[in-house]
């Protein structure tokens, strides 16, 4: 229903009175668009809200997140997880890596050989930066919300 006014105004842009009417039209157009956006967003938010509530009840706080170490890279490099989530890293490289928290925010992993996994549960909200202490160019981040 909000799309129709735009369509309605559009042909007028191409008419001869365009120059005189244009500022008003622009104003109207913007206004209508803004209204449509606000309404649309509200609709989306309400749907989303309901969705996450449902999810929350089905999956309590112990969600699991997987991070792969491959080609000297953490994938994904940044993960956002809920409080209480358990993050598991799997080393798919043929070289060892050691997961190390910047400022010791969580326990350092043992040396992860090819195929080995390491998990940590994040009980407190915050941003946890980490890297590989053998290959410090490899960095990643866990955002706990």
Q: List residues binding other proteins (CB under 8 A).
A: 71-73, 93-96, 98, 100, 102, 108, 111, 113-114, 129-131, 133-137, 139
- Here the contacts of 59-63 (C-beta below 8 Å, separation 24 or greater) are 60/84, 61/85, 62/86, 62/121
Shortest distance in whole angstroms from residue 8 CB to other proteins: 54
By C-beta, is 89 or 130 nearer to other proteins? Answer: 130
Distance CA 141, CA 131 (A): 9
By C-beta, is 59 or 72 nearer to other proteins? Answer: 72
Shortest distance in whole angstroms from residue 91 CB to other proteins: 12
DSSP type of residue 87: E
Sheet with 139-144, edge to edge strand ranges: 78-81, 139-144, 126-132, 99-101
Shortest distance in whole angstroms from residue 145 CB to other proteins: 22
């Amino acid at each position: 229903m909000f799309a129709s006014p735009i369509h309605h105004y559009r042909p007028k842009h191409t008419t001869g009175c365009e120059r005189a009417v244009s500022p008003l039209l622009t104003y109207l157009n913007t206004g209508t668009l803004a209204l449509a956006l606000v309404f649309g967003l509200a609709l989306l938010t309400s749907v989303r809200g309901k969705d996450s509530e449902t999810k929350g009840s089905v999956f309590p706080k112990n969600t699991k997140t997987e991070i792969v170490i491959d080609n000297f890279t953490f994938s994904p490099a940044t993960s956002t997880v809920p409080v209480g989530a358990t993050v598991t890293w799997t080393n798919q490289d043929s070289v060892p890596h050691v997961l190390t928290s910047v400022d010791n925010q969580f326990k350092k992993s043992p040396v992860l050989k090819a195929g080995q996994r390491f998990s940590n549960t994040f009980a407190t909200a915050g941003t946890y930066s980490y890297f590989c202490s053998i290959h410090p160019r490899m960095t990643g981040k866990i955002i706990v919300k």
